[in-house]
Amino acid sequence: MRLLASIVLAMSLMGCSVRMVPISEATPVPQEDIFAAELLTPDASRTEKVTLVRDEHWSGSANSFRLFLEGRKVAEIDVGEKLELYLAKDKTYFGHLEAVLFTDSLPTTEFELKASETMPNNYRLSIVGDTITINRSALL
């Protein structure tokens, strides 16, 4: 009985566990999952690199996230993948993340993204509880 209780407890804790994927271990989003390829290279107006990394978590790991900026679909990001975009410095981009699967249990998350010369342009994508999150991070 104690063994069964230990297994149930361990599984419930795993459901909430998130592993922050180091950028060195993250794989680039495959070309077929990128819908705004022009954002992958800098140009005269888009000079600031922004890196998004999808963390690993037991719950929702089979679910891709769709990333939209300014109403336009940019990419689908899977667990352990990274996306490096070039955005205009100090411009605020409005976007949202949505789940590809289980859209009724994981509501769309809206966010503001702003590339900056003075702050880290690194963002982590994850699931916390029943919410998709995007957070600026000094660590990647």
pLDDT tens-digit map of 3-30: 444 443 344 444 445 667 888 889 999 9
CA gap 73, 57 in Å, rounded: 24
Domain boundaries, position 114: 18-136
- Do 123 and 136 meet the contact criterion of CB atoms below 8 Å apart? yes
Q: Does the pLDDT at position 72 exceed 80?
A: yes
Q: What is the pTM of this model?
A: 0.79
Question: Could you report the per-residue pLDDT of 96-109, keeping only the tens digit for each?
Answer: 888 777 655 677 88
Asked, for residue 91, whether it belongs to a domain, the answer is yes
Domain assignment of residue 2, yes or no: no
pLDDT band of residue 70 (cuts 50, 70, 90) is very high
Quote the number of domains for the chain: 1
On whether residue 5 sits in a domain, the answer given is no
Identify the three-state secondary structure at position 9.
helix
